[in-house]
A and B are shown apart, each in its own frame.
Chain A
Amino acid sequence: DIQMTQSPSSLSASIGDRVTITCRASQRISTHLNWYQQKPGKAPKLLIYTASNLQSGVPSRFSGSGSGTDFILTISSLQLEDFATYYCQQTYTTPPTTFGQGTRLEIK
């Protein structure tokens, strides 16, 4: 299976900060990388698909980039509602697709 490694595992930031979360694949996956946001007690929510495409309804402060093995999720100006856990997912191989271990974004 392709292993997905996110960094950092946790992150403290303030409202208005620019935040980046990195996801690295154990082999090249082209742009078959999706990003999700999960809040406590809620189902995940798709933010970005195929590395850089913004899912409908997701605020434009979220963006994604990367290809091959290295990918970045950027939040340009943190809002209160953005404090959550973020997961990347590779869909280059199915089955199985694999998720990163998650990055917990907390208020500083």
Chain B
Amino acid sequence: EVQLVQSGAEVRKPGESLKISCKTSGYSFSDYWIGWVRQMPGRGLEWMGIIYPGDSEIRYNPSFQGQVTISADGFNSSTYLQWSSLKASDSGMYYCARHRSYDILTGFGFWGQGTLVTVSS
């Protein structure tokens, strides 16, 4: 059974750094693109970027490029989302999600439970 389990809720101050994680199981981690989706409070879904753990190729949404870093660790079958300097506008729910198949056009078929990030002074 494919499972994605995300790290717990975080509270940080503006300017602080943060790295959240998504640990996967039940499939060959290196073989599927996996990505991150943001949902700000009361808002819709925003595709942030995806990574292919097999060769670490990353595709960022230009809106998020330079603002976050996506990475993967094959040894731990985990993907990470990292900020070096948080802003209040980074507050929201962050989901990791794996594509339903090798074909990334067919959408995210498996999701983590979400990590709530709150940035407030």
Contacts and interface: CB of A to CB of B under 8 A. Distances in A.
**A and B found bound together:** yes
Interface string A39-77: 000011110011001010000000000000000000000
B interface bracket (residues with beta carbon within 8 Å of A): 20 to 34
B47 A43 contact: no
A43 B61 contact: no
Nearest to A32: B105
B113 interface: yes
Contacts of A83: none
A50 B62 CA distance: 24
Contacts of A50: 105-106
Interface string B41-63: 00011110110000000011111
A49 B63 CA distance: 25
A60 to B, nearest CB: 18
Contacts of A46: 100, 107-109
Interface residues of A, number: 25
Contacts of B113: 43
Contact of B107 (A43, A91, A95, A100): A91
Contact of B47 (A92, A98, A100): A98
Given A46-B100, A55-B100, A87-B44, A96 B61 contact: yes
Nearest to A91: B105
Nearest to A4: B44
B105 A44 contact: no
Contact of A101 (B44, B97, B106): B44
Contacts of A89: 45, 47, 107
Interface in B67-121: 95, 97, 100, 104-109, 111-114
A53 B107 CA distance: 11
Interface string A86-108: 01010110111111111000000
Top 5 closest pairs, chain A to chain B, by CB: A34-B107, A96-B61, A43-B111, A49-B106, A99-B45
Interface of A: 32, 34, 36, 38, 43-46, 49-50, 53, 55, 87, 89, 91-92, 94-102
